[in-house]
Amino acid sequence: MPSVAISTSQVRALLLSENRQTNVTTPMGNMMLEIQGDLEIPETSHADDRFSSHEGVDIVKFGLLHVNMETKSATLFIGKKQRLLGSVVKLDTPLGLLKFNHKSGTVEMQDIFSYKVIFKNRPLPIM
Amino acid sequence: MSTNLYSRLSCDPSYKLVQLTPELLEALTSDEPQLQFKCFDEKRSDVVLCSARRTWLLRQKNHSNTVMLMREFLPEDEQTQEDSSLFGIPRPINDLLGYSRTTYEYETRATEGRINLDLVPIYNGEVNFPGESKLKGRTLKDVFDNSPSSETECKVRWYQLGGCVVNGCPCILSPDMLSNALHVTLMSALAESLDFDRLHPCETYEVVQKDVEKGRSPYVLEVVRTVLAKFGTPNDDETWKLNRRQVAQWYGVRALQKFASRHSVPLEEFLIKWKSTFPPFAGFDIDIKMLRGWFCEPTRGTVQYVSKDTLPVDVKDRFKMLFKLQSQWDLEAFAPFIEDLNTKGLKIDTFIMKYARKRRIGKKIVVCSR
Amino acid sequence: KNFRIWVRYKEGFSDAVRKNVSWHDLWS
């Protein structure tokens, strides 16, 4: 019968220390971004200074995020043309982040999200 | 606060999100062993999540938004940003890299853990047990580890099923073995005036050994332990309180099987026969209502055994069969025959009304076919 | 430049579909 234990020592320590997320990023440095739509970014690198690499992996700079933690409002600039208005919301049910390691066949719960930044409105042009 | 957002061109698909309900958060912070994903088999069964004490069915909730998981990082080539590219917002103070995207979350729904009885042999008192059983060499812990269930639920369910460990081999006591063991245990306990509210396995085993024939007795300590655990509730001090109703029910079902299988019998006659199956002076109360779910009344005032093995799995067929056995049922007598089919957890009379008709006769509600 | 970085907006949001998870799904 297949089974796998979930390694939870990391989040257990977090929960017991009562070091909870109160900002857009978790104490472990993760953030959840949600957009009501499809975020289209290239699948391959191009000769443009938005493309670079990190730890051997190709990455692209796709946007700029501004958050006002007092008002819990957020603005997301996508590329050079789109501006989205959104907010920081507290999740009704926190979400555990599970990492499945296919090589070792192990599972680890690495973090807990209590907040997300969500953009539900139609993108506006950048004036 | 402003942040530069980056994304990997190819996201890492090995991350998933699971909803952490209050029960799960409690399991995470307890001292008990870890959470596990378990599944009966790789191809067909559903994955469950188990803590030490509880089991949840895993459900995938898809959604139509883009959810990107991001983490703080240091870009390898810092670039100075011109003010015009900041669109009037403050200069970014950090950088986030999107490493994964998800289109679903896992929800958890509380469910009953199940024991995997594959390869667990039936024990009927055989001398050379377990013989060449495929489970030889495996322990009860192995059976529990291989079950999509929490350990606590396994332990409770194991004894409910008549689970036992004989000669080191996990097994299930056959109905005959269980009946005989219960009968011998009750007789021996009565003879020695043991307190039925405080039965200790070892003490009970000792009195059973006094009453069985010399030579090899199949009623080893573990069998007695299973009898007490199946028909009792635990006290604080390793003793068991006999559940008299459950014992009476067990005898009642066996009596139905023995006396009312082929033909119906008058109720009064059945009650006398049922009472006669108990050990003398046992003093167990009986009531035909205890056996609801095991019998029908083909004609007024008679009872006949209904084997659960003969009940159709299809809901319409089952209703049809039950109304063929008995044209009209009290709601309380009917419900036990169909509640396992109510998989959506509707109120039982709401569920029944989907396939039958309900009528009120005086204070009673009766159910009949449409 | 022949690439685009863009949000294709969706009018509504749906999350009603739920299904059980197989071992294969868990590891896919």
Q: Which domains does chain A have, with CATH numbers?
A: 6-37+51-125 (2.60.40)
Residue B217's pLDDT is 84
| Tokens matching residue B354 | 């989907």
* pLDDT of the residue at B129: 83
| Chains sharing 3 or more CB pairs under 8 A with chain B | A, C
Q: Measured between CA atoms, how close is B292 to chain C, in angstroms? A: 33
**B85 assigned to some structural domain:** yes
- Put simply, the answer to whether A96 touches B18 (Cβ < 8 Å) is yes
Tell if the CB–CB gap between B63 and C13 is shorter than 8 Å: yes
Q: Is residue B63 part of a domain?
A: yes
Inter-chain CB proximity B68 and A34 less than 8 Å: yes
- Select from B69, B92, B111 the last residue of a domain: B111
Q: How far is the first Cα of chain B from the last one, in angstroms, to the nearest whole number?
A: 67
Q: Digits of tens for pLDDT over chain B (370 positions)? A: 899 999 999 999 999 999 999 999 999 988 876 899 999 888 778 899 999 999 999 999 999 999 999 999 999 876 666 666 677 788 889 999 999 999 999 999 999 999 999 889 999 988 888 877 666 678 999 999 999 999 999 999 999 999 999 988 999 999 999 999 999 999 999 999 999 999 999 999 999 998 777 667 889 999 999 999 999 999 999 999 999 999 999 999 999 999 999 999 999 999 999 999 999 988 899 999 999 999 999 999 999 999 998 999 999 999 999 999 999 999 999 999 999 898 877 888 889 999 999 888 888 889 999 8
Instruction: Name every chain C residue with its beta carbon within 8 A of the beta carbon of A50.
Output: 5
Domain membership flag for residue B155: no
Give every CB contact of residue B238 below 8 A, 6+ residues apart in sequence.
B200, B201
CB neighbour class for B307 (10 Å; exposed up to 12, middle 13-18, buried from 19): exposed
CA dist B236 and B22 (Å) reads 29
> Is B149 a domain residue?
no
- Residue B130, preceding peptide bond in cis (omega within 30° of 0): yes
Quote the tokens at residue B100.
């994964």
Distance from CA of B169 to the nearest CA of C (A): 29
Tokens (6 digits) for A81: 């043309």
In a domain, B40, yes or no: yes
Q: Which residue type is seen at B57? A: L
What pLDDT, on the 0 to 100 scale, is given for residue C27? Answer: 94
Residues A60 and A80: their CA atoms lie apart, in Å, by 14
Residue C24: band (very low, low, confident or very high) from pLDDT cuts 50, 70, 90: very high
Using the Cβ of A19 and the Cβ atoms of chain C, whether some distance falls under 8 Å is answered with no
pLDDT (mean) for A61-82: 93
Q: Compare CB distances from B14 to A3, A6, A99 and report the shortest one's residue.
A: A99
Side chain identity, residue A117: V
Q: How many domains are contained in chain B?
A: 2
pLDDT at residue A26 greater than cutoff 90: yes
Last residue of a domain, one of B111, B135, B159: B111
At C7, is the secondary structure helix, strand, or coil? strand
Question: What is the residue type of B345?
Answer: G
The reported pLDDT for the residue numbered A65 is 96
CATH number of the domain at B367, please.
Answer: 1.10.10
CB B203 within 8 A of CB B227: no
Residue B99: is it exposed, middle or buried by C-beta count within 10 angstroms (0-12/13-18/19+)? buried
Please indicate, yes or no, if residue B273 is contained in any of the structural domains.
Answer: no
B9 contacts A42? CB cut-off 8 A: yes
The answer to whether position B319 is within a domain reads yes
Q: In what order do the strands lie in the sheet with B122-123?
A: B122-123, B169-173, B163-166
End position of a domain, from candidates B111, B127, B160: B111
Question: Which residue range forms the structural domain that includes residue B351?
Answer: 311-370
What six digits make up the tokens of B367? 């159910």
Positive or negative, the Cα torsion across B273, B277, B281, B282? negative
CB A44 within 8 A of CB C9: no
Residue whose token pair is 């209050």: B22
Helix extents (H) in B243-330 = 244-259, 267-276, 315-325
Alpha carbon of A12: minimum distance to chain C alpha carbons (Å):
23
pLDDT of residue B138: 84
> Are A101 and A3 spatial neighbours (Cβ–Cβ below 8 Å)?
no
- How far, in Å, CA of B369 to CA of B127, rounded? 51
The secondary structure element, H or E, covering residue C25 is helix C23-27
